[in-house]
């Protein structure tokens, strides 16, 4: 077991999320309030008042797991566990299934939780690169070349944070086949699955492959990161391993969170359609802004999610630039150093459209200002 690496993105957010005024760095859609949830779901104040803070069950209440299974699975609640965001699911998956020395295929760049936990366990990471020169398009042949009989787990996240890249349905099938061929676990982080710009969301791979474990969350597409609610689909045997670990950690979710989550799952389409429409409008704004700033930035249009990984021309240290933007313009942007890629920044476009416009205008000013970050 190695010491776990500091989570760079979470550290950046700790420093700037509460100290900036305009957020064009976060990776989720605009957040909802409780008052909005009362309006958009059938949740009532009386229901909240009647919550008794008893324990909940280890996997989550049956009604809630059933609702999740019906929306994102095949209707079987035995395959579902609810979690405190997908972060908890991720922690349980890696600690429940990996051992030192295991080979694990991970994306690069990638949300750090999806590889640092495995690294801290002592796993050997094999990196599946997404390259800007190829529009960050995942190359399935490259993934296949990394997967072999020693592979214990393949961990992916599509649509991808921070690039917005994704797979076609055919590529998803090819990936599942390659992982199934060697009997490895496929960990499918579906945090952004429900926001896509062409076609429909990719199906849950757990429906096709019993060693696939997929994770979902209300933090990104549903505007509820502070609810700390997520879920994972896995076989009952695998979920039993997670419960064994959870018994020493968080035990179960709060019955109040479970109640709110159930109402949200039941009205998920309503919340989603509002934010999807906003995401489309905002993506067009970003697209036009990029066109007007081609001398300063380069990008690859995202296929899903609400973030994109912008290359800054002539700026090799995006971290100093992002400190400057936060301190001078009070705008939150995430440096590519949080993703092992210092010449890029993560731009989040899921927030209020007025904020996006204002944030982009400050970004233009900062990029045009002759500052110490220009080479
Ligand atoms: C790809 C991805 N997975 C998982 C998470 C964790 O989110 P949460 O624990 O809020 O569900 C994040 C958060 O940024 C993420 O980007």
Q: What pLDDT is stored for residue 2 in this prediction?
A: 81
Q: Among residues 83, 157, 98, 199, which one has the least CA distance to residue 307? A: 157
From the CB of residue 36, how many other CB atoms can be counted at a distance below 10 Å?
13
Report the mean per-residue pLDDT for the chain: 96
Q: How far away, in angstroms, is 113 Cα from ligand 1 center? A: 8
Does residue 285 belong to any structural domain of this protein? yes
Chosen domain end from 240, 268, 296:
268
137 and 156 in a single domain? The answer is: yes
User: Does residue 2 lie within any of the structural domains?
Assistant: no
225 C-beta closer than 6 A to ligand 1? yes
The answer on 274 and 249 residing in a single domain is no
Q: Facing residues of 345 across strands?
A: 310, 335
Q: What letter would DSSP give residue 217?
A: E
Supply the CATH number for residue 127's domain. 3.40.640.10
Over range 126-135, report the average pLDDT: 96
- Phi, psi at 262, each rounded to 5°: -65, -45
Query: What are the residues facing 37 on neighbouring strands?
Result: none
By the 10 Å C-beta count (0-12 exposed, 13-18 middle, 19+ buried), 117 is classed as: buried
Same domain, yes or no, for 286 and 228?
no
Whether 244 and 289 share a structural domain = no
Identify whether residues 96 and 206 lie together within a single domain.
Answer: yes
Grade residue 339 by pLDDT with cuts at 50, 70 and 90. very high
Write down the pLDDT at residue 372: 63
Expressed in angstroms and rounded, the spacing between residue 162 Cα and the centre of ligand 1 is 11
Reply yes or no on whether the pLDDT at 233 is more than 70: yes
- Ligand 1: nearest atom to the Cα of 230: 11
Question: Cα angle vertex 31, ends 282, 94, to 5°?
Answer: 100
Against a cut of 0.75, is the pTM above it? yes
Q: Are residues 188 and 235 in the same domain?
A: yes
Indicate the length of the chain as a whole number.
375
Q: Which domain holds residue 26?
A: 8-33+270-368
- The reply to whether 358 and 314 lie within a common domain is yes
Question: Nearest-CA neighbor of 357 among 282, 276, 278?
Answer: 282
Distance 226 CA to ligand 1 centre (A): 12
Q: Atom 14, ligand 1: which residue's CA is nearest?
A: 27
């Amino acid at each position: 077991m190695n010491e776990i690496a500091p989570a760079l993105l979470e550290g950046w957010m700790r420093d700037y999320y509460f100290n900036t005024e305009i957020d064009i760095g976060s990776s989720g859609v605009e957040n909802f309030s409780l008052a909005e949830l009362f309006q958009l779901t059938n949740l009532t104040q009386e229901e909240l008042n009647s919550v008794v803070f008893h324990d909940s069950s280890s996997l989550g209440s049956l009604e809630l797991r059933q609702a999740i299974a019906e929306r994102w699975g095949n209707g079987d609640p035995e395959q579902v566990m609810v979690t405190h965001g997908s972060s908890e699911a991720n922690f349980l998956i890696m600690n429940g299934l990996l051992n030192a020395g295991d080979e694990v295929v991970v994306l690069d760049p990638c949300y750090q939780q999806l590889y640092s936990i495995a690294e801290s366990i002592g796993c050997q990471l094999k990196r599946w690169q997404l390259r800007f020169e190829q529009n960050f398009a995942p190359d399935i042949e490259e993934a296949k070349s990394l997967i072999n009989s020693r592979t214990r787990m393949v961990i992916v996240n599509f649509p991808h944070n921070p690039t917005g890249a994704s797979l076609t349905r055919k590529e998803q099938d090819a990936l599942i086949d390659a992982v199934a061929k060697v009997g490895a676990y496929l960990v499918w982080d579906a945090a952004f699955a429900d926001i896509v710009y062409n076609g429909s969301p990719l199906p849950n791979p757990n429906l096709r492959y019993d060693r696939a474990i997929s994770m979902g969350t209300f933090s990104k597409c549903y505007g509820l990161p502070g609810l700390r609610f997520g879920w994972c689909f896995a076989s009952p045997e695998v979920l039993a391993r997670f419960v064994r670990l959870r018994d020493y950690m968080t035990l179960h979710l709060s019955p109040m969170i479970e109640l709110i989550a159930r109402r949200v799952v039941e009205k998920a389409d309503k919340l989603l359609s509002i934010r999807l429409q906003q995401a489309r409008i905002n993506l067009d704004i970003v697209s036009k802004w990029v066109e007007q700033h081609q001398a300063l930035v380069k990008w690859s249009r995202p296929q899903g999610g609400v973030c994109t990984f912008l290359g800054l021309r002539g700026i090799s240290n995006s971290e100093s630039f992002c400190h400057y933007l936060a301190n001078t313009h009070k705008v939150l942007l995430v440096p590519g150093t949080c993703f092992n890629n210092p010449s890029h920044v993560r731009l989040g476009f899921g927030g209020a459209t007025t904020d996006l416009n204002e944030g982009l205008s400050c970004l233009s000013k900062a990029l045009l200002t002759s500052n110490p970050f220009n080479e």
